[in-house]
Structure 1
Amino acid sequence: MKNADRYMYKWAVLVFSTLTCSLTWGLAYTIGVFYISWLEKFPESNSKVAVIGGINTGVACLFGPLYDVINTHIGYRKAGALGGICMAAGYIGSSFATNVFMLCFFYGGLMGFGFGLAFFGMSIAINNYFGEQRTLVEGMVTFGAGVGGFGYTMLSRYLIDIYDWRGALLILGAITLHLVLFAQLSFSPDDLHCVKLDWMSEGREDPTPKEDATLTSDGGQDGDDNASSLINSHGVDVRNASENITWIRRCLGLFKNPVFLLMAFAELFCWIGTYVPFVQLPERARLLGIDGTTVAWIASSSSLAMSAGRLAVPVTCSLFNIHPFYAYGFSNAVAGLLTALSPLFKTDIALLCYAIFYGFFNVSVPLIRASAALLLGPELFSVAYGWLIAINGVGLFIGPALAGFLCDITDTYDTSFYFAGACLMTSGALVTLRNKAEGYANKSP
């Protein structure tokens, strides 16, 4: 591929990645308005209904290493399309749910797996096209999550009022099929010669951008992802076996790396607390006597502010040469402090202000992705990011469920927000250990 052509097309990849983020994580932030409907429909405890959202985002993250393997073997175009189909099927299945268990399976499991797979594929596409200005690029991509969260929350509330929550889920399921299109457009037109448009054919269809591929003696292209299979005289696929061994070695190396372990623990505490306000703030506002329209604005304003923060913070890091890992710790600490203080806010204006400021500092996603690329290197990004989002999934499983349990035993949402705030502040505090972790890593043989 010519350098000029690749330079131009990478911005198109950025646009499709942003739209994918909008349709995946953006829709995930609409859980609050459906949470209210499900509490009214199903006679279950807060903790049981809250676990639906935890499963959804938890599954989306927990299978990170599996997404890495899938993308390695079939390419991010097919993986992204498969994710979009699974996500749509999850929404459609959820619309026919008659109990919480069915919602856990369709909305939680199937939809979560789909949007996680689709988003991971686009993350790999961004990693292939962008090496410099990583913090700013990640902020631009995840900007879509905030815009999508705002728009789809308001849309979901509107659809629920007209078609009930079942009809709203059906319509959103149809919208998510656009992910199939976005995935198919995530390659350069100059690579059409090596893109297999026939999905029934064997081999990987999408290339990692490489320059001046040359023909090898076996008739394949050196550096072309299509040449992912090499059969020896015993009928064994040597290249795929070698890729699997390399992947395992990289995983083992990562878990011996103190810097990666520090990032992993920081992410665990971050995601135990991060999602709790998105799930419980709308219901908490409703119990305070705030009307449904205002509740929707409170929930969606957090997502809108998040989109602003995910642009403003990375831009600030780029302008003032601030390392994204330090910005990550500071933003988590501020978001945690605001959440711990939020039980003091009882009016609609106060809750709206909390939602806005919490959303603005909820910028961990672009900053941790940029931190992983800078601290661990672009070669390890795919496998490292796969494990990091798996750890996010553990936190997302724990957080909403435990917060719902605390609400049930104390009969107040205040304890849930104290708990979430403490976890976020712990995540921020762990970042101060970066220099020590790097010191241990440099001493390692």
Structure 2
Amino acid sequence: MKNPESYKYKWVVLLSASLTCSLTWGLAYTIGLFYISWVDEFDAGNGEVAVIGGINTGVSCLLGPLYDVMNTRLGYRKAGALSGILMAVGYIGSALATNLFMLCFFYGVIQGFGFGLAYFGASLAVNKYFIQQRTFAEGMATFGSGAGGFGFTILSQYLIVTYGWRGAMLIFSGTALHIVVLFQLTFSPDQLDYLKLNWKTPNATDKSSELGYEVSNKDDSDLASVGSDDKIEIDDEREVQFFRSNDPENRTWLRRCTGMFRNPLFLLMLFTEFLCWIAVYVPFVHLPERARLLGIDATTVTWIASSISLSMCFGRIAITGICSALKIDPFYAYGFVNVVSGLLTVFSPFLTTKDGLLCYAIFYGLFYVSVPLIRASAASLLGADVFSMAYGWIVAISGVGLFIGPALAGLLYDITGSYDATFYASGACLIACGTMVAFRNKAKRIQDAKMTADVIYKRYEL
């Protein structure tokens, strides 16, 4: 197929994805403000109400493999429209809730399912169009997450005060329906020609294949590219057919998963993401409470919390832009930002003033770039053909870490009576996550050797 990056329509898809991220994560970050209203409304404990957010997060992340199947079967536009409708229904049902069980179902399950499906689909669409500029495109797409988190936090506070939490939920249901419109603008590259949306730059040459491999003649021999940069010499048409038989279009979802879990690079990514998400969300959850316990006033605590989201906007554009311009491997960049975030978090207990905590929040947000970098890494190292499935499992393992991390952090506080141990442990996990990236080349060599062995075996078998 034509090089997807030759289409100017890619910028429409990128804008749509960024706005989708703004709506999904922006609305998700407001849950802390609704907690207070739910505790008062239903006369419930903080632990009971916290279950609602846990269900929402769990559904949105742990169902990543299902989102892969739905986007493959339905396409971006239908799956995206469904996600916006589900989010709207979740908010309407929550606004009408008369007990916590209804909130768990409508906000936790229904809204969480729509949230995860929309965010997943936006990422897939971006990776279909951007290859050479993939890292920067991911940064631009996830820029909306930080911008939405900052904007919707302020907006939701105003809406709750003015219309009550139920009125705010109804307004957010209408806001979520905008996702339906955004996904109607999200066409896959192979649709653009017959839809007459092919805003293609002239004389563009094909640089990639949507299937993740290409066959070309060079010095009278054929080369088949598996994934992104793994080259294996092919001198027999039967071996080319072997690669094509392993094309995701010709294999069942279960067989594709089995093959993926035999890939050392993929397993390394899963392990690093698990370590990352055990720790990376802890400052979002526990830094405001830590600031309050240090005697900092409520207004300053709010600014400390929102500063992470605000600085995250600039960090994602700046760091991904630098990586793209200097052609830095996104997986190495992923390791670097996690090590820096870990060091900042390890030393944060020594910061006990409002200025110190505000500085920590700002710099932590600047280096919170792991999300776009791991997505770019998965596409570039594993191949665009398996990105959807791979990212589905990466999202799922992130959800597991997200479940465990904040809970363990709270448990450490209960045991020690201080947040120092919480931030020490979180920082150590982030540093361990970043240093594990050093095994990238070793994992790649193992995978290359396995692929070569498969080719040799297939050559003699055929």
Q: Smaller-chain TM-score range? A: 0.7 to 0.9
1:11 equivalent in alignment to 2:11: yes
1:361 pairs, out of 367, 377, 385, with 367
- Structure-2 change in CA distance of 1:177 and 1:35 (3 Å): same
Q: Which residue of 1 aligns with 2:310?
A: 304
Q: Which residue of 2 aligns with 1:372?
A: 378
1:403 pairs, out of 388, 409, 430, with 409
SS class of match (1:75):
helix
1:321 pairs, out of 327, 334, 340, with 327
1:40-55 equivalences under 5 Å are 48-55=48-55
1:267 equivalent in alignment to 2:273: yes
> 1:320-359 CA deviation, whole Å, 9 max, x = no partner?
2211111111111111222233333333222221111111
- Structure-2 change in CA distance of 1:166 and 1:399 (3 Å): farther
1:434 pairs, out of 440, 451, 456, with 440
Deviation of the 1:179 alpha carbon? 0.5
1:251 equivalent in alignment to 2:254: no
* Percent of aligned positions that are identical: 65
- Structure-2 change in CA distance of 1:409 and 1:46 (3 Å): farther
- Structure-2 change in CA distance of 1:273 and 1:92 (3 Å): farther
**In 1, are the aligned partners of 2:276 and 2:338 still within 8 Å (CA)?**
yes
Deviation of the 1:42 alpha carbon? 6.1
Find the aligned partners of 1:408 and 1:100 in 2 and give their Cα distance: 26
SS class of match (2:368):
coil
Find the aligned partners of 1:290 and 1:338 in 2 and give their Cα distance: 20
Deviation of the 1:130 alpha carbon? 1.9
Q: Which residue of 2 aligns with 1:136?
A: 136
- Structure-2 change in CA distance of 1:405 and 1:174 (3 Å): farther
Find the aligned partners of 1:70 and 1:245 in 2 and give their Cα distance: 16
**In 1, are the aligned partners of 2:5 and 2:131 still within 8 Å (CA)?**
no
Q: What letter corresponds to residue 130 of structure 2 in structure 1?
A: F
Count of residues in Structure 1 that have an aligned counterpart in Structure 2: 401
1:332 pairs, out of 331, 338, 344, with 338
**In 2, are the aligned partners of 1:151 and 1:300 still within 8 Å (CA)?**
no
Deviation of the 1:410 alpha carbon? 4.1
> 1:219-278 CA deviation, whole Å, 9 max, x = no partner?
xxxxxxxxxxxxxxxxxxxxxxx9584322221111000000000000011111122221
Deviation of the 1:149 alpha carbon? 1.1
Find the aligned partners of 2:3 and 2:383 in 1 and give their Cα distance: 22
1:55-66 equivalences under 5 Å are 55-66=55-66
Deviation of the 1:61 alpha carbon? 1.6
Find the aligned partners of 1:337 and 1:99 in 2 and give their Cα distance: 43
**In 1, are the aligned partners of 2:5 and 2:130 still within 8 Å (CA)?**
no
Find the aligned partners of 2:399 and 2:4 in 1 and give their Cα distance: 39
Find the aligned partners of 1:98 and 1:417 in 2 and give their Cα distance: 38
Q: Which residue of 2 aligns with 1:282?
A: 288
- Structure-2 change in CA distance of 1:284 and 1:5 (3 Å): closer
Find the aligned partners of 2:175 and 2:117 in 1 and give their Cα distance: 17
Find the aligned partners of 2:80 and 2:330 in 1 and give their Cα distance: 27
**In 1, are the aligned partners of 2:42 and 2:100 still within 8 Å (CA)?**
yes
- Structure-2 change in CA distance of 1:9 and 1:352 (3 Å): same
Q: Which residue of 1 aligns with 2:162?
A: 162
SS class of match (1:321):
coil
> 1:64-90 CA deviation, whole Å, 9 max, x = no partner?
110111111111111111111112222
**In 2, are the aligned partners of 1:80 and 1:118 still within 8 Å (CA)?**
yes
**In 1, are the aligned partners of 2:342 and 2:429 still within 8 Å (CA)?**
yes
SS class of match (1:57):
helix
Q: What letter corresponds to residue 344 of structure 2 in structure 1?
A: L
In structure 1, stretches of 5+ residues that fail to align are 195-207, 211-241
**In 2, are the aligned partners of 1:82 and 1:114 still within 8 Å (CA)?**
yes
Find the aligned partners of 1:42 and 1:429 in 2 and give their Cα distance: 46
1:189-268 equivalences under 5 Å are 190-192=193-195, 245-268=251-274
> 1:135-185 CA deviation, whole Å, 9 max, x = no partner?
111111111111111111121222233334333333222211110110111
Q: What letter corresponds to residue 127 of structure 1 in structure 2?
A: N
SS class of match (1:290):
coil
**In 2, are the aligned partners of 1:154 and 1:300 still within 8 Å (CA)?**
no
Q: What letter corresponds to residue 443 of structure 2 in structure 1?
A: A
- Structure-2 change in CA distance of 1:3 and 1:331 (3 Å): closer
- Structure-2 change in CA distance of 1:17 and 1:118 (3 Å): same
Q: Which residue of 2 aligns with 1:218?
A: none
Deviation of the 1:98 alpha carbon? 5.2
Q: What letter corresponds to residue 336 of structure 1 in structure 2?
A: G
**In 1, are the aligned partners of 2:312 and 2:367 still within 8 Å (CA)?**
yes
Q: What is the CA RMSD across the aligned residues, in angstroms?
A: 2.8
Q: Which residue of 2 aligns with 1:343?
A: 349
- Structure-2 change in CA distance of 1:410 and 1:11 (3 Å): same
Find the aligned partners of 1:39 and 1:244 in 2 and give their Cα distance: 52
Deviation of the 1:419 alpha carbon? 3.2
Find the aligned partners of 1:5 and 1:340 in 2 and give their Cα distance: 41
> 1:2-36 CA deviation, whole Å, 9 max, x = no partner?
98996121111111011001111232233343345
Deviation of the 1:424 alpha carbon? 1.7
- Structure-2 change in CA distance of 1:418 and 1:32 (3 Å): farther
Q: Which residue of 1 aligns with 2:174?
A: 174
Moved more, 294-303 or 305-314: 294-303
Find the aligned partners of 1:332 and 1:40 in 2 and give their Cα distance: 38
- Structure-2 change in CA distance of 1:3 and 1:400 (3 Å): closer
Find the aligned partners of 2:254 and 2:30 in 1 and give their Cα distance: 36
**In 1, are the aligned partners of 2:79 and 2:121 still within 8 Å (CA)?**
yes
Find the aligned partners of 1:250 and 1:135 in 2 and give their Cα distance: 25
Q: Which residue of 1 aligns with 2:430?
A: 424
1:23-34 equivalences under 5 Å are 23-34=23-34
